[in-house]
A and B are shown apart, each in its own frame.
Chain A
Amino acid sequence: MGMDLSYLEALMGGVAAEPTTSESAGGVWVVGVEGRLDDGLLRLVGKARVLADALGAYVYLLTNGSDREAAESTIRAGADQVLLAQGSPTLTDLVSFFEPRQPEVILFPRTRVGRILGAGLAQRLDGGLCGHAADLEVDPIYRRIVAHQPVLDDAARQRMTILAAPAMAIVDTAALPAAFNEPWRSGAVADAGADWVPAAEPRPITWPQPAVTLANAAVVVAGGRGLKTVEGFALARQLAQALGGVAGGDLTALDAGWIAEEELIGLTGARIAPKLLLALGLDGDTSLFMSIQDAGLIVAVQPDPAAPIVAAADYNIHADPADFARALLERLSRA
């Protein structure tokens, strides 16, 4: 297989011609073989486009989730060539598909199928893999892909330079920027020439989940004195429900009889560590602050700019908590 010098053309300012055959070596490949073409896959195509531009390479999308018409959206999102396949590939199918093509980069979305096929393919092709990438860039000096892998629950991201070829990554598409939609882009749609067996339909099942508690909730809506009435506090409960979280309150809410003892947040109640704490009409005191130390994002709605919570919250909204809760509820129900 000869060397792919097409990127030189791109580097020199020329517009690379569309690839004519799917056999051309190299290229940045996106594999979306779950029978659908969703926004995540389009974002991934966009990321592939950015990498391909830096490498001077083409973007190929191998998918079984599209017809010729729908494939246009992937071209607007950055694909140079869309290869349409039928059925669902096994790992062996993908190995035989990619072995002769010698791709430079292969990206999979971080779905269950993507994780299985991506990691399996990397192992079979002797490639290098970042199994969980939130972003990708090109190291132009060594012409290598550098993946950004979330660590410590995404408290930071670790640079992972992919050494072995092909450079592969399983990408959390939700972390990527919005998909391109550029009508001026052109690309080709071709048949992948792959004859895969349809996947078996899985049997769905549900099972009861333990109730979410204050201590383990991802979202907590906490209310206090500023909600004024029991009806006002009910808004906190509604918001908690709308956000898929649980409601709680401080001592003032407990004293007012708005919450049960188990719903108290504080040193004499629950310690919480949600991703989002929405504090409605809470003033904040030592007991509260010490119990919300591990909260991710704190948003406080509090008319008094001098309230102690203002300095502890990431974002403050100086409004009447009940009014704001109503406005937010209305927007959430619309979405």
Chain B
Amino acid sequence: MRIVVCMKQVYDPATTRISRSREEFDLRGAVKITNTPDKHALEAALRLRAAVGGEVIALSLGDAEADDVCREAIAMGADRALLISGPEVIGVTGRAVARALTAGVRYLDAVDLVLTGQVGLTDGTGSLAPRLAAELGWEVCLDAVRLAPMTDGQIEVTVACSPGVGEIVCLALPAVISVATGSERPRYAHPARIANAWAPGLVEVCSCTRLGLDAAALTADVEVGGLILPPERTRGQTIVGPTETAADELVGLLRTKRIL
């Protein structure tokens, strides 16, 4: 089976701050990492490969630094990687990302399965898998926690609806599946694979032009604006009144905060 795993580089949410005064992200201390949900997708792909054989290819889109993501994928076990890069892909939005990655999947040829992470950390929405499926005209399934290949060109997918509860669906291949973060924990990269991941020939870098995409295909479908911030936290407030009314008020408060 030839499996493509879409993997992107994101700002680590733990190091990404918000500037209240400028109403935008403060990225000065932000560190770029491989989107961890994508590592879950890679783990699922590696398990499938172990079960049925074949090839796992990491597919990424981004600037030159996204090479790190490809190398990490290879260190974790991917056979090779394709990086779609070049000035034209900087800052592209969801629609264009899906088109470019689709072109990448077509370029890789004879792909049976495309896996994506559930969502991009920091500012993702989790719409890549259905977008890709629409572009490719393939079947799609979201939030998979387990993938079991079947003999008849189908794949049995366990989908998580809530923690511990889900349903089983069967998809005909080729298909696009997003893998939930509740799936098997991604493996540690093996040190020897890490040492070899920068060997030449493992990551192919490709421009959009070479994939046959023109500028029109990459136009933005949305424009990112400023941030809207919740009111600053005020500590030390008091809910006054007797126990009974205070309890009522707290229940109301928890409802509006969507904790209940």
Residues in A whose Cβ lies below 8 Å from that of B130: 115-120, 123
Where chain B touches its partner, the secondary structure class is: mixed
* B51 interface residue per 8 A CB criterion: no
Please tell me which stretch of A28-36, A186-194, A305-313 contacts chain B, meaning at least 4 of its Cβ atoms lie within 8 angstroms of it.
A305-313
Question: Closest chain B residue to A123 by CB distance?
Answer: B134
* A160 interface residue per 8 A CB criterion: yes
**In chain B between 224 and 244, which residues have their CB closer than 8 angstroms to a CB of chain A?**
224-230, 233-239, 242-244
* A97 interface residue per 8 A CB criterion: no
Cβ-defined partner of B239 (8 Å) among A112, A208, A316 = A316
Q: Across the interface, do B234 and A314 meet the contact criterion of CB distance under 8 Å? A: yes
**In chain A between 208 and 239, which residues have their CB closer than 8 angstroms to a CB of chain B?**
208-209, 218-219
**In chain A between 197 and 217, which residues have their CB closer than 8 angstroms to a CB of chain B?**
200, 202-209
Residues in A whose Cβ lies below 8 Å from that of B164: 206-209
**In chain B between 149 and 177, which residues have their CB closer than 8 angstroms to a CB of chain A?**
158-159, 161, 163-169
Cα–Cα distance between A148 and B140 once the two chains are bound (Å): 26
Q: Across the interface, do A131 and B253 meet the contact criterion of CB distance under 8 Å? A: no
A98-125 vs B, CB cutoff 8 Å, 1 = contact: the mask equals 0000000000000010011111111110
Cα–Cα distance between A60 and B233 once the two chains are bound (Å): 39
Q: Across the interface, do A316 and B122 meet the contact criterion of CB distance under 8 Å? A: no
Cβ-defined partner of A159 (8 Å) among B122, B131, B169, B225 = B225
**In chain B between 207 and 221, which residues have their CB closer than 8 angstroms to a CB of chain A?**
219-221
Cα–Cα distance between A22 and B260 once the two chains are bound (Å): 40
Chain B: residues with Cβ within 8 Å of the partner, total of 65
Q: Across the interface, do B163 and A209 meet the contact criterion of CB distance under 8 Å? A: yes
Minimal beta-carbon separation of A98 from chain B (angstroms): 13
Q: Across the interface, do B224 and A158 meet the contact criterion of CB distance under 8 Å? A: yes
Residues in A whose Cβ lies below 8 Å from that of B18: 152, 155-156
Cβ-defined partner of A148 (8 Å) among B135, B219, B228, B259 = B228
Cα–Cα distance between A209 and B250 once the two chains are bound (Å): 30
Q: Across the interface, do B236 and A335 meet the contact criterion of CB distance under 8 Å? A: no
Q: Across the interface, do A162 and B238 meet the contact criterion of CB distance under 8 Å? A: no
Cα–Cα distance between A174 and B18 once the two chains are bound (Å): 24
Residues in A whose Cβ lies below 8 Å from that of B140: 116, 120
* B142 interface residue per 8 A CB criterion: yes
Q: Across the interface, do B235 and A202 meet the contact criterion of CB distance under 8 Å? A: no
Residues in B whose Cβ lies below 8 Å from that of A203: 167-169
**In chain B between 48 and 71, which residues have their CB closer than 8 angstroms to a CB of chain A?**
none
Cβ-defined partner of B247 (8 Å) among A126, A318, A331 = A331
Cα–Cα distance between A202 and B142 once the two chains are bound (Å): 14
Residues in A whose Cβ lies below 8 Å from that of B122: 151-152
A-B contact pairs, 23 of them (CB 8 A): A115-B126, A116-B140, A116-B142, A119-B131, A120-B134, A129-B222, A146-B225, A149-B123, A152-B18, A152-B122, A158-B225, A160-B224, A164-B219, A164-B221, A207-B164, A207-B166, A243-B260, A317-B246, A319-B242, A324-B246, A327-B247, A328-B250, A331-B247
